[in-house]
Structure 1
Amino acid sequence: MIVSIILPDLRPGGAERLHVNLAEEWGRSGVSTEFVLRNAVGELLNHLPASAKVVDLKAARVRNVLGPLIQYLKESKPDAIIAAMWPLTVFAPLAARLAGYQGRVIISEHSPLSIAYRRHGRLHQLVMRASQRVCYPLADVRVAVSSGIADDLASLSGLSLKQFTVIHNPAALGKVNANAACPEQLSGRPGPIILTVGTLKPVKRHDLLIEAFARLPASLGATLCILGEGPMREELEQQIDRLGLQGRVLLPGFAVDPGPWYGHSDLFVLSSDYEGFGNVIVEAMEYGVPIVSTDCPVGPTEILAAGQYGALVPVGDAHALSQAILAALTEKGDQAALKLRAKDFAIEIIAQKYLELLAS
């Protein structure tokens, strides 16, 4: 079986990384993958399975992707396609219909679109809703990576909730290395290590996390590590300087393998305004790291079972976040329970669910 994975690019986002991991897992079952990219750029290009092919549609803008995609489907005829992230999730089934494509068409959404695009204006909202209403039914399966996203998509598109299938992200990779060396930046620090992982962009609210961290007692001797890269680096560096947190808040950049960072941290914190799922929460749980998260729409509360596996605090509340961090650092967490919960999102389980959809 040949499966084509249609993505904008392979920059290191959550959706991009999980598809690379799925391709690697499928390869063990004899399934070949082709990454069909609007633009073949991104750090993850260097981390694809050796058997995976890359197809560059060379579409400068999203609206230019339809023609090259139709041509690709006519020529390559893969057994199935998976398209992720709107608007590719409407272009892909439309291209498949126009190309006379006979294989399985699966689309998957990884973000609560009504929130992600709410500031783009009424016309954009109307176009998004109309495109979903027309093109979603052209797909064989519509996947949402959380129940909250399924609810959001049903509301936006006007389709029945029953027309969406929820498959959580395969965020537990089973590659925990308890003996991994401590990253040099964390080595020798006397107090607790607080970690977050994510692109440095506004929705992740790293500014809120830094503000919450500044409220912790200095006697705690804690270090905050923000692992990731993105457009807000300069702004965050200025905030760190303004609050006098130099040397206590670290911005090491992007890490291909964040495992050693999880393995040598005492607490993981997610401070986002919204998430589609929250892969990094599962990644931290797999290492038994206690969790504090904003109760943001839509993924964290599903992963943490409404607070059973970690603390949930109101979105945008630096004081509540600071208090929850302090409480979590003084409590003894149940590592075994966290690791067991992470297994619900194991890649072998999720990969098999997708294969069942592909083969139906």
Structure 2
Amino acid sequence: MTGRILHVYKHFRPTFTGEGVFLERLAPVMAELRPDVAHEVLVTTTPPPPEAPSLAGIADIHYLASPETGAPQRDIVRWLARNAERYDVVHHHTHVDRTFLGALQLKLKGRRIVLSATLDDSLQGLLRGYRPAFRPLVRRLFGLIDQFVAISPRLHEENLQVAPAGKSALVPIGIHIPPEGDVSAAAREKLGLRIDAKVLICVGGLCRRKDQLFLIEQLPDLVRETPELVLVLVGPDVESDYRSLLQRRVDELGLAAHVVFAGHADEPWDYYRAADLMVFASREEGFGTVVIEAMAHGLPIVARRLPGVNDTFVDHGVSGYLYDDADAYRRFVAGLIADPVGSRTMGRSGRAFVAARYRIEDIAARYLELYGFAPNRHAAVAPLRASVSPGPYTDAEVSAAGLKVRAQ
């Protein structure tokens, strides 16, 4: 084995996070591009499950926490110091080494350190988590980090306020681009959805930040215009009390026939294939992977505007709509439902844009380069599993169409 990378998370399976799911999908691609580079995971807060998960592309998962509490700082530092020589690179996907003692141990042993910003944890955001008197020292300690990575332009700009440009990189989330085809009927039959329904899909953990309540509250007006409308919420119950609130509002508004709680789906591809459009109400995102996944499946988007995040890949009026208030949301959704031809045109534009810019193979290669391992770009990477035949648009046509979409 030529190299070994350690990925550090607070939360990992069986606790689902967007960053953790992304690594699960990215690791097999990195392994195909560089099979001589191994990837392991260190988990500091999620307690170990009864049976450790076996994930493609990930050689081992180390859980530090006890079932009762997360690992204290001293345990994290000790583990990193004890195991530093096993790894060439340690990639912190979250800032768990708050004392920087672990980073100091790693640097003394010549290891490369990467730190990601994925939500509200840009370097500016992390500095705000320290007392004002300590912030000048923390700024200097950030110098121990070799490479800072941000997944959105907003986070990247915030990183650049603290770190030099040469140490800061913008690397977005990457996804598998599925074959295109008209598969809604087969997917709806598989999922038990009516063939004649108008299906809105929202993918994401059920929690206040994702604001699925907003989507439910807007349904009565939309259902009056389109009685066959169904909102499918795909995602785990991240906050159980919030899940109960959502169910209560569905019952109070008489929407039981119009809302489906689908639960968590490791591979939500059939839900995308079954949908007419993607709706997204999240109030804060580092990126918004599920939105570009929906776009890759040819769905037009109606999402809450998040400046510097989703306005970099949802081209308002071309591949979807970004709303700022409830009236705009209802107007955009109703307009797309009433205009299926225009909706499909938007979906094709979005798919072309994503196919040209967010292929997981390209993102995996970028990470390998940041780690110091040149990727084998001639490696054959397995495509997204799909049970459908390619539709009337070939991948070459989609890629070519992507050149015609307006740059963001």
> TM-score over 0.5 for the alignment?
yes
Query: What's the CA shift for 1:95?
Result: 0.7
SS of equivalent residue, structure 2 residue 232: strand
Tell me: CA distance 1:225–1:103, structure 2 relative to 1, closer, same or farther (3 Å).
same
Q: Report the counterpart of residue 83 of structure 1 in structure 2.
A: 92
With over 3 angstroms needed to count, the CA separation of the structure-2 counterparts of 1:126 and 1:21, relative to structure 1, is farther
For the Cα contact (< 8 Å) 2:81–2:105, is it kept in 1?
Answer: no
Q: Residues 342-357 of structure 1: matches in 2 within 5 Å?
A: 342-343=354-355, 344-357=357-370
Q: Is 2:56 the partner of 1:49? A: yes
- Over 3 Å counting, the alpha-carbon distance change for 1:238 and 1:162 in structure 2 is farther
State the Cα distance separating 1:245 from its structure 2 match: 0.5
1:293 aligns to what SS in structure 2? strand
1:336 aligned to which of 344, 348, 356: 348
2:23 counterpart SS class: helix
User: Match of 1:246, as an amino acid?
Assistant: A
Instruction: Report % sequence identity.
Output: 22
Deviation at 1:214, TM superposition (A): 2.2
TM-aligned CA deviation for residue 127 of structure 1: 8.6
The offset of 1:41, in angstroms, is 4.6
Q: Deviations over 1:63-121 (max 9, x none)?
A: 71443344344335211111112x32656x6413124231221111101348x989xxx
TM-score, structure 2 as length reference:
0.77
Q: Distance in 1 between the 2:173 and 2:134 partners?
A: 24
Query: 1:176 Cα deviation (Å)?
Result: 4.9
1:35 is matched with 41
Shift in Å at residue 48 of structure 1? 1.4
Whether 2:321 is the aligned partner of 1:311: answer yes
**Cα distance per residue 1:252-288 (max 9 Å; x no partner):** 1111110000011000011111211010011001100
Q: TM-score, normalised to structure 1's length? A: 0.86
The equivalent residue for 1:144 is 150
* Cα 1:183/1:79, change in 2 over 3 Å: farther
Letter in 2 for 1:292: V
1:258 and 2:268 matched? yes
Matched, 1:214 2:227: no
RMSD of aligned C-alpha atoms?
A: 3.0
Q: CA deviation at 1:247?
A: 1.8
Distance change >3 Å, CA 70–CA 309, structure 1 → 2: farther
Size of the aligned set, in residue pairs, is: 349
Q: Structure 2: state its 5+ residue gaps.
A: 374-408
The 8 Å contact of residues 105 and 140 in structure 1, kept in 2 or not, is answered as: yes
Alignment CA distance shift 1:340-1:235 (3 Å): same
Pairing partner for 2:188 from 175, 182, 186: 182
Verify the 8 A CA contact 2:117 2:149 in the aligned structure 1: yes
> How much does 1:9 deviate?
2.4
Deviation of the 1:219 alpha carbon: 4.2
Which residue identity lines up with residue 11 of structure 2 in the other structure? Answer: D
Q: Does 1:169 align with 2:179?
A: no
Q: For 1:20-74, what per-residue CA distance to the aligned partner results, in whole angstroms no more than 9, with x for missing partners? A: 1121111112121101111355799636116521112226666714433443443
User: Displacement of 1:187 after TM fit?
Assistant: 2.4
Unaligned runs of 5+ residues in structure 1 are none
Matched-pair contact (CA < 8 Å) for 1:225–1:252: yes
Answer yes or no: is the 8 Å Cα contact 1:276–1:298 preserved in 2: no
Query: Is the 8 Å Cα contact of residues 292 and 328 (structure 1) preserved in structure 2?
Result: no
Measure, in 2, the Cα distance between the counterparts of 1:63 and 1:4: 17
| Cα contact 1:40–1:54 (8 A) shared by 2 | no
CA distance in 2 between partners of 1:265 and 1:51 (Å)? 32
Q: 1:62 to 1:166 in 2, by over 3 A?
A: farther
Which amino acid is 1:206 matched to? Q
**Do structure 1's residue 234 and structure 2's residue 216 form an aligned pair?**
no
1:214-257 Cα offsets, whole Å, 9 max, x none, are 22142412100111122121010011111111121111111111
Residue 26 of structure 2: aligned partner: 22
Question: Counterpart of 2:116?
Answer: 108
1:125-163 Cα offsets, whole Å, 9 max, x none, are 7499668524432111000001111223445xx445664
Provide, for residues 289-318 of structure 1, a one-character-per-residue CA deviation record: whole Å limited to 9, x for no partner.
Answer: 11111102442111214554220111xx22
> Quick check: 1:96 aligned with 2:133?
no
Q: Name the structure 2 match of 1:322.
A: 330
1:2 counterpart letter in structure 2: R
SS of corresponding position for 1:88:
coil
Larger radius of gyration: 2
Deviates more, 1:48-57 or 1:262-271: 48-57
- Amino acid corresponding to residue 64 of structure 2 in structure 1: L
